[in-house]
């Protein structure tokens, strides 16, 4: 079985960029996805969960720096800026807002791929990360397996996504907005009822007493926290 290809999202409104960059990414072993606007790009980041993002600053609906700022509210992967803006102040602003690198247009594909490899190496966790143990619950994200008392627990896709997002921040409070954006997309950032339903379902499957949870905890008015031990 072939290894899963890393996902690269390219947010750029120039068709010619996609025409030569998509095949280049595919040839380099990546899975590429296209977004032609800032809003489309933010939705794709939230719903497609790319391993890295290549972002143009000159987009038709919003400035790329605004996309960068909003993306950094919920996305921790590498973001490479690809832009014709060559002023030093633009580069500094983008890097201060959370960009990992800045490549000027016109650019060489070889250079962009090299910078992408560097960014991915710096942010990709080791493949053999240890499962998180919370009481009698074992959460193994590498193999998408959840066990309780040694028995496998079946989760729906949304249940798994919520649990996985919490597992990546063990012991820390994850806000409602962060979870909703990461799992349902930026358009659902206020739909807290979605989250309450899924968390309730997770507690039924993972807690000894769902009415008095000890693993998946509520931080009133803020979000949820997964106990780390």
Is the confidence at residue 3, as pLDDT, over 80? no
For residues 98 and 159, state if they share a domain: no
CB within 8 Å of 1: residues ≥ 6 apart: none
pLDDT band at 1 (very low <50, low <70, confident <90, very high): very low
Q: Quick check: pTM over 0.75?
A: no
For residue 29, count other CB atoms closer than 10 A to its CB: 11
Residue 26 lies in a domain: yes
| CA distance readout (Å), 175 to 132, 150, 182, 200, 223 | 20, 30, 11, 16, 4
For residues 34 and 103, state if they share a domain: yes
For residues 141 and 108, state if they share a domain: no
Residue 56 lies in a domain: yes
CATH no. for residue 96? 3.40.50.2300
| Least confident piece of the model among 25-34, 150-159, 177-186 | 177-186
For residues 110 and 31, state if they share a domain: yes
Of 158, 171, 145, the closest CA to residue 199 belongs to 158
Counting residues of the chain whose pLDDT is more than 90, the rounded percentage is: 44
Report phi then psi at 67, rounded to 5: -60, -45
For residues 118 and 145, state if they share a domain: no
- The domain tally of the chain equals 2
Average pLDDT over residues 54-74: 92
Average pLDDT over residues 83-91: 81
For residues 17 and 114, state if they share a domain: yes
Query: What is the residue-wise DSSP string for 180-217?
Result: HHHHT-GGGTT-HHHHHHHHHHHHHHH-SSTTS-SSEE
Is the confidence at residue 33, as pLDDT, over 90? yes
For residues 19 and 118, state if they share a domain: yes
pLDDT band at 72 (very low <50, low <70, confident <90, very high): confident
CATH no. for residue 206? 1.10.10.10
pLDDT for res 22:
94
For residues 17 and 84, state if they share a domain: yes
Is the confidence at residue 108, as pLDDT, over 70? yes
Residue 2 lies in a domain: no
Please write the tens of the pLDDT for every residue from 129-164.
568 888 889 988 877 889 999 899 998 888 988 998
pLDDT for res 181:
81
* Structural domain for 186, as ranges: 132-226
Looking at 69, 92, 123, which one is the last position of a domain?
A: 123
- Reported in sequence order, the residue ranges of 49-94 that DSSP labels E, i.e. its strands, are 52-56, 79-83
Does 155 sit behind a cis peptide bond, omega within 30 degrees of 0 on the bond before it?
no
For residues 67 and 166, state if they share a domain: no
For residue 175, count other CB atoms closer than 10 A to its CB: 16
Looking at 89, 123, 157, which one is the last position of a domain?
A: 123
Looking at 82, 105, 123, which one is the last position of a domain?
A: 123
Task: Name the 3-class secondary structure at 150.
Answer: coil
Helix (H) or strand (E) holding 15: helix 15-27
For residues 87 and 36, state if they share a domain: yes
């Amino acid at each position: 079985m072939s290894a899963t290809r890393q996902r690269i999202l390219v947010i750029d409104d120039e068709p010619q960029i996609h025409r030569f960059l998509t095949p280049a990414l595919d040839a380099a072993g990546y899975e590429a996805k296209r977004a032609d606007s800032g809003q489309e790009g933010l939705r794709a980041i939230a719903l497609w969960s790319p391993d890295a993002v290549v972002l143009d600053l000159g987009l038709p609906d919003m400035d790329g720096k605004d996309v960068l700022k909003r993306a950094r509210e919920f996305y921790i992967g590498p973001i490479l800026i690809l832009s014709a803006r060559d002023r030093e102040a633009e580069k500094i602003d983008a890097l201060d807002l959370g960009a990992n690198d800045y490549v000027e247009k016109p650019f060489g594909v070889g250079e962009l791929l090299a910078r992408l490899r560097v960014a991915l190496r710096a942010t990709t966790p080791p493949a053999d990360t240890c499962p998180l143990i919370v009481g009698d619950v074992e959460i193994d994200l590498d193999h998408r397996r959840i066990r309780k008392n040694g028995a496998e627990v079946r989760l729906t896709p949304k249940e798994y996504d919520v649990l996985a997002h919490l597992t990546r921040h063990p012991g820390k409070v994850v806000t409602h907005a962060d979870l909703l954006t990461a799992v349902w997309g930026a358009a659902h950032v206020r739909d807290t009822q979605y989250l309450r339903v899924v968390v309730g379902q997770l507690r039924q499957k993972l807690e000894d007493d769902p009415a008095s949870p000890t693993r998946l905890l509520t931080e009133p008015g803020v979000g949820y926290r997964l106990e780390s031990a």
